[in-house]
Each structure stands twice: as structure tokens, then as C-alpha cells.
Structure 1
Amino acid sequence: MKPLRKIQAALVAIAVAVAVAGAAVINTESGGQPEKLTIAAEFTDASPLVVGNDVKIKGVTVGEVADMGVRDAKAIVTLKIDGMALPLHKDARATVRPVSLLGERYVDLERGTASAPLLNDGDVLPVAQTGQATDLDQVLNTIDEPTGQSLAALVTMLGQGMQGNGANARASIKALASSMRDTDGLIKILGQQNQLLTDLVDNVQPVASALAADNGKTLDGLVDSSRQVLDVTANNQQGLDASLAELPSTLAAARDTLAELTGTAKATTPVLAGMRPTTENLSAISDELRKFSESADPALTSAKPVLERAEQLMDAARPVVEELRKAGPGLRGTVAGAKPLTVQLTDNIENVLNFFRFWAMSTNGWDGLSHYFRGQAIIHPEEITGLLPSLTGTPPPPTTPGADKPPASSPLPELPDSVGSSGLLDPKSLVAPDGGVTGLNERQESGVLDFLLGGS
């Protein structure tokens, strides 16, 4: 029982020290909250808390438990807080702790972080922000009789070992002071990284659960695979050593290659700069191609029936082509024989076409009876006048071919008197002053013939 009394005395001393330290650092600023604040806290288990128990911040009493109730299987504890405890923030925490080993309890309240919003009158702290400290009797209840006896023996041996060694223990504690400060800094760092550690545990938990889901068979398989990889690596140790030995030369060759690539890249830079104007137009070209493809889609869609019809025509033309192929040798000889005629017609095509054109113009007229033939003859006036018989019955002298003008007229013989008045006209009246028998001069006769014959 003596060790237990020592533990109780130590706990009481620690509680007093914490109360004194907390009283020195209480923040009395309200932060814009009312002078007094009433909030509620949800607990999964609030026993043995009772109405009237104190509410403390860092060991200093700042309020009391005003009411207790149950709602939705949760203990609802109403806390009345004095203004000296303010400000309180939304992430404040409330923990039920023992005042002493006698069993009395109080609510230990933490203000929360300064960056969080302030608590308002009537707000509720959820279960995630409340808790209950573990009592010493709960710890002692977990220790069975053999463990208690072993613990008592350990405390006895420690007491015997410390007997007469107080100075040495004090020197050891003094020497460990710096280590304890470092440990305190480590604990503070771990406290700051508590969320990171929590996230790490949360991320590791699914992996651990997956490995433990089939009683470790997956982990066993992973270990076996790792062992096989290590065995293969050990068996190929010489090959790995050789590869590592060749690695420096490989790296040197790679360095040279990279140097050459650097020169190539520098030479490529002007080429790429020259290609830039072309590449800038690629966007516009792609847009034009897209528009063209969109326009071509209906045409390609409608081309299918045309292609099917063309295929049918090709199938129908296949027999004709086969017949033409059979007649090919004969046609080749015929074409060879017709080639000279074709060449002559091609060289004289204008005259050939004129022949057909003039023949069509000669036969395309018609009158009341039928078509008539239209011809053109070029005749000189002297040819007509030379063919006319003279009044005396003597044919006119022949004209000289190629002469432009008729020969000079000779004096006409005198007509007999018997002819004078027997005709319709007096023959003498038919003789023109220049000797023409038509009574017209040469120019007048030429104009009459041109009018009748259509000459020029």
C-alpha cells in the first residue's frame, strides 16, 4: 500500500502544479462574445459527472455544469461559462477528468484555435470534440494478481536500488535534462504533426486490412515473391557486377551522344524557326479541310448509288469489251489501211468541210414545186455577147482567150431594105452608137448580165 500512497501523493502534487500554471495564463479577453456563455457538450458517457461540477480551463475554475440530460442515446451536458474563460472557438474540446482519487470529476475545457470561428450562446460541442480521461482505478483493474505482484516487486527493487543513491540519481536527472528538453520538443513536433500522422495511419490501415484479410496469405505471397526476386538477384550477381562495370563506358557513350544531339538541336532551331510561318497556317488549313470534309460527306453519301450504277454499267460493258478484244486484230489492219486516208483528210480538212458546206447551201432552198439547185457560174460579158447570133446569120468572130476587153467592133454591114419595116423593131434602131446589137453600150450590158446571173 505504501507505493500506492506515493503514487496518489504524486498525482495530487501534479494537479496542484497544473492549477497554479493554468491560473497564470488564463486569457480574460472576451473576443466579442457575451460576458457569460452557455453551451452544451455531447458525451457518449458522462458518468460520474453531476450537476454542479466545476468547469476548468488549465486548472482554473471558469464555470459549472448547469444541467444534464439524454438525447439520441447521448449524454447532453449544459455548461455555464464565465467571461474570464472567453474567447471560446468552434473547435473547443471538453474532457471529463477526475479531481482526485476519491472519484469527484470536473470538465476540462480547451478554448480551440484562434483562427476558428467563435462559439455562440447555445452552441453544441459534438461527440468528436468531447471525451473522458482514464481513471487510475480503471488502470489498476486491468492489472491481474500476478502482474500486481510483479509490479510491487519492481517498485520494491527500485526503492532498494535508490536507497543511498539520491545524489547519483539527481546527477543523472540533471545530465538528462537536455535530453528531456529535446524529447519535449519532439513531443511538440509530433503534436503539431498529429493530423499528418492520423492521415498516415488512415492510409496504412486499408493496406494492412487488405494484407490481413486472408489471414496473411497475401503478405506471405508477397514475401515469397520478394524472396524469389532476391534469389534470382543473388544468382545473377556476376552478371550484375559485369553490367555495373560496363556502366561507366555506357554513360560516356551516352554523354557523347547527348553532345551530338545538342549540336543537332542547335542546327534544327533555325529550320524550326523557318517552319513556324507554315505551322501557324496549319490551323487555318485544318479548318478548311474540316469544312471541305463536312461538305464532301453528303456528296460521298450520295455517290454510293452512282458507284453501284457504274458497277452495273461496267458489268454490262464487259461482254462488249470481250467482243472488241476478239475483233482487235482485224480492226488493227483496218485502222492501218485507213491511216493514209485519215492523214489526207486531216491535212485537207478545210476543203472537205467547205465541200459539204457548199453542197448543203446549194440544195437547201425550195420553191412551190420542190427543192432547186443553186449554182454559181463566172462568165464574162463578152462570152455571152459572142454566143449571140448576128442578125446576118454570120457567127461572131472567136474571142481571144485571156483578153480583158472584146476586140474593137467593125462596121456592121448594111441591112437590106426588106428587113426595114417587116419586124417588130427596126433593126437599125437596135444598133447602138458603139456598135452593140442590144441597143446598150458595153458597160450597160455588163451591168444587166451581173444582175441576171448574180456575178460580181
Structure 2
Amino acid sequence: MRRNQPRRLSFFQVGVIAIVLLLLVTYFGFTKAVPFRHHYTIGAMFKTANNIKPGSAVRIAGVNVGKVTEVKLLHPDDPAAEVKMRLDKKALPLHADATFKIRPRIFLEGNFFVDIQPGTPSAPTTGDGHVFAVNQTSSPVQLDQITTALPSFTRRDLQRLLQELSTGLSHGGATGYNRSIRYWEPAYRNGSMVSDATLGKAEHDLSGYIKNAGQVARALDREPPQLQSLVADLNTTAHAFAVRDVQLEQAIGELPRTLAAGLPALRELNDSFPSVRRFVSDFRPATRSSGPAIDATLPLVRQVRGLVSRPELRGLVGDLRPTVPDLARLNKSTVPLYQQVSLASNCQNDVILPWSHDKIEDPTFAATGPVYQESTKPLPGLAGESRSGDANGQWFRVLLTGGQYAYPMGNGQFLFNGRPIEGVNPPMPSARPPLRPDVPCETQSAPDLRTNPLPPPPGRRVQGSSSPAAVAYREKAMQDAVKWLRRQIDKTGESDQLRAEDTPLRPGELSHLSGLGKLGHFKAKVAKGR
């Protein structure tokens, strides 16, 4: 062998190189990945893995961006699994609201792949190793699930549903459905508010509600016949609505007006809640103190219980047995009486009471109060006059005076007044109001106190005669009146306190008359001849 001849590889070296190349080709052929290179991995929780296995494709918009590396069942008896995926750089970024769906590659099922929706740009991006929750994943519906979900009775119900839907959309139903679309937005908005309100205010409000709802569900489950009867009755109710569809349509037509009237009432009710809360807060001390009050009434309750016991009641019934028939007859005979009492009460409430709160309108003599106040003002004077009497009867003190204005009253009689009469109010009615005993009082209108004053009656101003005969006549009448009055004072025994004079009072002496109403406490000290 020559020295300059190139050295050949040994068979062993050629074999090693061939094995390495074969391994590389096999690795790249099956993994299609560059070794010793970091890959972006994520996980997603699925309710069921649905034949997803390691190596299944991961796609975004139909483009392969990775593959499934591991499918890990959470529990042997549960189809839920965690699917781990390795993604390429072109799959990034993934946002926190990304969704994952397991889809079949062909219609008749076979290979499955994971379809990723990367999420919205406004959501934060996720990092390596992030695991997406189960509410962001979904699995395909298997063909056997469709066939088992539609047995014969379900298909019949579905056919009936489609027939009823067709009937409902015909004869203007579709038009009404289209018109209802504009109400969906406020309905869904208000529905979302209600759904948000179901969460409650405290931390465990919703969980407490679900717990109590579970108790209700268990109570319903304990009585299957009653639950079945409830469903049957609900079907009967729905059938009754279906039979009365015209009346139901009319009632629904009245619903907007009902809601228009009900919403203000609900607002007022909502406004009243603060005062109700204050009332509840103020009522709590009384509620707390009701415990001792109830304890204090327990002895009374025990005594009352003994009173209504059988031995006591027998004696009471025996004592009442002669009285009960009379009470029954009395009760029957008082029916006409209470009918009249009812009529009188209605008349008092509907006619007399409003009239007593009315006010007399008189521009000349203005009333200072309603009728029930004005009508009682003469009573003190009448009460004072009632004391002026003896065995011979009642007598009253009056003050007589003449006047410069004369008004004829007929039959040769005249009314003299010191000032001219300005009018007549209230005027004398032209006829007496009709009396209808057969008409209930409460149906009649209250008396009308408004009046139109009449003009004054015809009269004239007169001058007293100054002839000697007239003057002498008036002087003699004055002396006779004074003598008679003095005799009356002597008879009463009040001559040391009262005396009669024939001279007119002066303006400064008018205040002495205020004591005449308190006879026995008045001292007249007017000099003789004044």
C-alpha cells in the first residue's frame, strides 16, 4: 500500500455513521421538530377528550400551529382530561379569553384536531405553561350522541314543536315576532340586571340560595305523585290559555297600560322603602322587649286557658242557655234599627260633617270660623240667661232704645232702628225646600251657605216731635219706667248696690255697665243727679 493513498473508513465507522443518519431521518420523519429547541406549551381542560391523542394537530384558522403532546385523564371514572399542546411561534400570542374546540377532520368522524381562537386583543396575553379553564373549551357532539338524543318519543315531540311553531308563525305571528325584536334589547338588559342581582350583596348569598333551592328540589323529589300532578295541572292551565286565545290576546293588549300604571306605583313603593327601613329600625327595640311582655302575659294565658276549659265552659254554657234565644231574637229585631243607624251615620259623614266644616261667606259680617264654631258662640249667653229665673218662670234683661229710621212691618207696626238697614242676608226663600223622606240623606247635597243679599226694605228717617205735649208724654213715660225699675230693684234686695236714674249715661260712665252681668259683685258709686 502506498503512503499517499487516502485512508478509507473502516466498516465499523461506516456502520456507526449509517446508524446515526438513520436515527436522524427517523427522528425528523416522525417528530418533524428540531431537537434541543425550547417550545411554547399550554394546557386546556376538556369535559371529554373525544379520541384526541398525542400527535393530534393543533390549528388556528385551518393552519397547523402545533400538536398535542399529552392527554391526561383527571379521574379514571371521569372523561374530563387535561390536554397539553406544543405551539409554534406563529401561534402566538394567545390571549386570556382564547377558546379551544375539538373538531373532527371529516364528517363521518375519525381524526380530531384542536381548533384555537386566539382571543381578543384587549385581553391580556398568556405565558408558557398557562392552563385554560374548562369554560373556555368545548367538545364535538358525537354521532351516537345525536342518535341517542332523538328517540322516537323525542322525535314526536320535536315534530309537534315544529308544527306548533309553524302555526304560531302563521296568521300574523311572524309579523308580531318581528315587531317584538325592538323590545329584546331592554328585555335582555333588564334581564342581565336581574341576573346580576341574583348574585346578592354578601359573599354567600347565591350559594345560600342554591343550597335552599336544593332543599326545595329534594322536597319535590320526595313526593313524585304531587310533582306529577303539578305538571298535569300546569298542562291543564296551558290548555285553558290556548282555548281562550282571543281573550288572552286582549289581556296582553291591556298589559302595556297596566305596566304604565304599575311602574309609578312601583316607584312610589321603592321611595317608601327608606321610611319602612326606619320603621323597622325603630320597631326593633319594641320587638326585643316583647319577650318579657309575652312572659308576663303567660299567667294570664294560663288563667284564660282554664276559663275556656271544658268544665268551665259547661257551666258558662248552662248559664247562657236561657239567654241565647233572647239574644238571637234581639239580634234579629235590631236589624231595622241598625239600618236606620247606618243611614243616620252615612248622613252624618257625607252631609252634616262637610256642612259643619263649611264657612259662611258674608262680606259685611265676616265669619271667624266654620259653622261648628260659629253655631256654639250664642250658647254661653243662653246659659247666662237661663239663670235669670224663679218660680214664676224665666225672665231676661233687655235694653230698649228708639231709632231714627222707621220700616213698616204691616198691620200698622213699624221697626225703628238707629242706623239705616243696608240689606237683608240671608234672604227669605221664595218657597220651602221639598221634604223627601223616601230619599236617603247621604245621596243629597250638603246645604249651600252662599247667598245673595237682598236690598233693604223701604223705610224713611223720622224726626222726634218737639211739641210740649210730646215732650211731656216722653217725660212721664221716663218717670214711670224709672219708678217701676226702682221697685224691681227693691224686691230683689239689691238697692244698696243698684239704683235707677232718669239721666242719660255719659260716654265715660259706660264702663260701669260691665258689672251688671255679675250681680252681687258690682258697686255703683254714681253721685245723685248725675
Q: Normalising by structure 2, what TM-score? A: 0.25
More helix by share: 1
